[in-house]
């Protein structure tokens, strides 16, 4: 083992300082001591510092409770905020629960933690510097749900962009909470470390499917898809509506369960190809 470690050390010496050791040098330990170790020490500290910063940041993301001044509990939710929490939060959470309970991944004994980041800098801190998002959860790391500044009494988030919020009628604050909570449920059902490897259309499409709780017209959206409407293209609209259509069609039209779709996710290209045909049929779903 020691012999092999020394060989690795010499290899690193070659890689790090671009120097081929003298083949006549018989004492490898001398070579390591003279050449590799000092340079390794120089490299070690920045590496350790960077590692410490990353671990500290993950700690901040995982345990943000002390940084939020206000807290309340309601049903299976714990809610924190950087501003006083409006009493209307119970109505919002009731509606979020109604949406979440349409999912077969939901159970009433699951707990959810929601953090309202009303200050933009705070959202940037907890949403990995993305200040335009409505909500965010890094379910592979923590089940914490972060929500942007919101008007709880009116069940809405404040638009992240100038002008009216896109698709606002179908996306109240309770939708955003249910969407992010669905990511938590997906992580619990399919594995937090495996979830990022499932297709984006499936993860986001199902979160929207649950978040909107049936507030979605499949036939109308197929019509828009065939017309190449930008609302169904995430790259253009930043909406998950196209992904939602894929999932809604597989589940509501073809009768698939979400667990069976996750077991064998079809290709999104294939789904879109079928949906654009004259009479989309479920043969694709049945072969998966």
Residues binding Zn ion (CB under 5 A)? 204, 207
What is the nearest approach in angstroms of Zn ion to the Cβ of residue 81?
A: 21
Torsion angles phi and psi, residue 161, rounded to 5: -125, 165
Return the number of the residue (79 or 184) whose C-beta is nearest Zn ion: 184
The token duo for 47 is 């590496």
Q: How far is the CB of 36 from Zn ion (least distance, A)?
A: 46
CB of 268: closest distance to Zn ion in angstroms?
16
Nearer to Zn ion, 207 or 213 (CB): 207
> 112-116 and 144-147: which strand pairing?
parallel
Minimum distance, C-beta of residue 71 to Zn ion, in the bound complex (Å): 25
- Beta strands at 70-74 and 77-81: parallel, antiparallel or unpaired: antiparallel
Nearest Cα neighbor of 38 from 64, 66, 59, 17 is 17
Q: Quote the least distance from Cβ 129 to Zn ion, whole Å.
A: 17
**Judging by beta carbons within 10 Å of its beta carbon (0-12, 13-18, 19+), is residue 53 exposed, middle or buried?**
exposed
Residue, CB closest to Zn ion: 207
Rounded least distance, CB 204 to Zn ion, Å: 5
Name the residue nearer to Zn ion (CB basis): 31 or 185.
185
| Residue whose CB is less far from Zn ion, 31 or 136 | 136
37 burial via Cβ count (<10 Å: 0-12, 13-18, 19+): middle
Cβ-based nearer residue to Zn ion, 91 or 131: 131
The torsion angles phi and psi of 228, rounded to 5 degrees, stand at 55, 40
Q: Between 10 and 210, name the residue whose CB sits nearer to Zn ion.
A: 210
């Amino acid at each position: 083992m020691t012999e092999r470690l020394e060989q690795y050390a010499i290899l690193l010496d070659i890689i790090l300082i671009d120097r081929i050791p003298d083949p006549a040098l018989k004492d490898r330990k001398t070579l390591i001591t003279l050449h590799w170790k000092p340079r390794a020490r120089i490299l070690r500290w920045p590496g350790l510092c960077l590692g410490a910063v990353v671990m500290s940041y993950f700690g901040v993301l995982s345990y943000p409770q002390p940084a939020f001044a206000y807290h309340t509990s309601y049903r299976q939710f714990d809610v924190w905020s950087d501003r006083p929490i409006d009493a209307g939060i119970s109505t919002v959470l009731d509606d979020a629960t109604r949406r979440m309970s349409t999912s077969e991944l939901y159970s009433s004994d699951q707990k959810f933690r929601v953090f309202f980041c009303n200050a933009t800098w705070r959202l940037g801190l907890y949403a990995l510097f993305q200040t335009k998002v409505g909500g965010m959860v890094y379910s592979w790391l923590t089940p914490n749900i972060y929500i942007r500044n919101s008007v709880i009494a009116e069940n809405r988030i404040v638009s992240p962009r100038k002008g009216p919020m896109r698709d606002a009628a179908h996306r109240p604050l309770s939708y955003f909470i249910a969407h992010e909570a669905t990511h938590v449920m997906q992580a619990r059902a399919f594995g937090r470390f495996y979830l990022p490897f499932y297709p984006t259309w499936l993860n986001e499409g199902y979160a929207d499917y649950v978040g909107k709780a049936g507030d979605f017209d499949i036939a109308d959206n197929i019509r828009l898809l065939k017309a190449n409407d930008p609302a169904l293209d995430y790259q253009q609209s930043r909406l998950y509506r196209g992904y939602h259509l894929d999932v809604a069609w597989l589940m509501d039209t073809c009768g698939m369960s979400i667990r069976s779709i996750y077991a064998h996710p079809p290709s999104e290209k294939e789904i879109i190809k079928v949906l654009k045909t004259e009479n989309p049929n479920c043969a694709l779903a049945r072969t998966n």
